[in-house]
Structure 1
């Protein structure tokens, strides 16, 4: 039976957060704080309000704001520009697909409706999809500001979905799994070892939907 499969992008289709981690490590080294541990510095970065949404531009803003808060020396324009380069390196990194993604999408696309559902900057996310070579497998590309319960309820209305035949597939309990289940979707949780810590929650099986937990994206072929 044809299903509606909404698939997360970052850290589900391709590697993403690991590059943000590399940039954060470069920032911590550059900051060279005399007393705060890397863990404490990361906590400050995570506390910075997401005033510009998600994506590289927002990440650069958060690093610069954290630098102003934590720097133990004069904050210079040169230092802020240096921090900007840490984020810009993320955009220049070659696209790295998760193992088995392309072959699995080739298998799924003729059988089901596939849609990318991701959050972040519209242009940045669409460029990543274009660079990935995966765009042709998807009938819809949906980029939203947040993935919460209302987002999934809106999708049910917009696409006239039957919730029992609709699935959200991703690595983030906070954005992909918990709100989808609460909205009546089914969900497939594919944990990733480098999921952004702001996206980590206990998986809450709310609603009437089914929950699958898989070890790898390629295992979708066994269920769909």
Structure 2
């Protein structure tokens, strides 16, 4: 028996909540670090530099594969003891391109669970990133029909959630954000007055790591380890 009544509004994240995503970036990064094969910096130090570069690139160019590609090229240019020639540039770009070639891999029981939830509640996809990329993923996922609306935002911060709350006239006491990122899905949603469900994913992007905020009085923060368990909550 679900814990909450029919008629909730569930804002649901996409990458690493509905389908695998970051694991492909991690593979590309591992290949990049191996190719760089730095003799002064350890792989961990190279990764720290890449993380810093990614933060810079995101501020200037947002999320998505083009931004990630820029980060790999910039990191290589900063760390390589030799200048980057066209051949090396194409190799580095190829690591990012390999991500785009991946088929959408839904996480376990996602479609069955969405079908079940959509029969009782209003589902809205809320994800961040490059609009064209995220829309294309949704089309190829086969999940679009379960959502009454789609929100693709540049950043998930409290202001973005407040905009969505106003646009869809959401009642905070019956509205939830569901996702795997403390930084983007849980903490800003709680700050905007929503309830939240944190879905643990072992490969959540390191730049999305954060300490989970504390729900205020009257708010709910639920932690689950599988998407399918949402049917027992809602």
Classify the TM-score, shorter chain.
over 0.9
Distance of 1:184 and 1:160 partners within structure 2? 13
**Structure 1 gap segments, 5+ residues each:** none
Asked if residue 62 in structure 1 is aligned to residue 71 in structure 2, the reply is yes
Q: How does 1:124-135 map to 2 (within 5 A)?
A: 124-135=133-144
Query: Contact 2:110 / 2:227 at 8 angstroms: preserved in 1?
Result: yes
Deviations 1:53-109 (A, max 9, x none): 111111001000101100111211221111111111101111110001010001011
TM-score (normalizing by structure 2)? 0.94
What is the RMSD computed on CA atoms of the aligned residues?
0.9
**Paired position in structure 2 for 1:112:** 121
Distance of 1:174 and 1:29 partners within structure 2? 29
Distance of 2:8 and 2:14 partners within structure 1? 19
Distance of 1:100 and 1:39 partners within structure 2? 34
**Paired position in structure 2 for 1:86:** 95
Q: Which residue, out of 2, 5, 12, partners 1:7? A: 12
Q: How does 1:18-97 map to 2 (within 5 A)?
A: 18-48=23-53, 49=56, 50=58, 51-97=60-106
Distance of 2:164 and 2:220 partners within structure 1? 18
Shift of 1:112: 0.8
Quick one: higher RCO (CA 8 Å, sep 6+), 1 or 2?
2
Distance of 1:45 and 1:97 partners within structure 2? 28
Aligned residues: 224
Shift of 1:206: 4.2
Q: Compare 11-20 and 30-39 and name the one that shifted more.
A: 30-39
**Structure 2 gap segments, 5+ residues each:** 1-5
Distance of 1:97 and 1:140 partners within structure 2? 20
Query: Contact 2:215 / 2:221 at 8 angstroms: preserved in 1?
Result: no
Distance of 1:38 and 1:169 partners within structure 2? 33
Distance of 1:222 and 1:160 partners within structure 2? 26
Runs of 4+ in 1 over 4 A off after TM superposition: none
Alignment partner of 1:160: what SS? coil
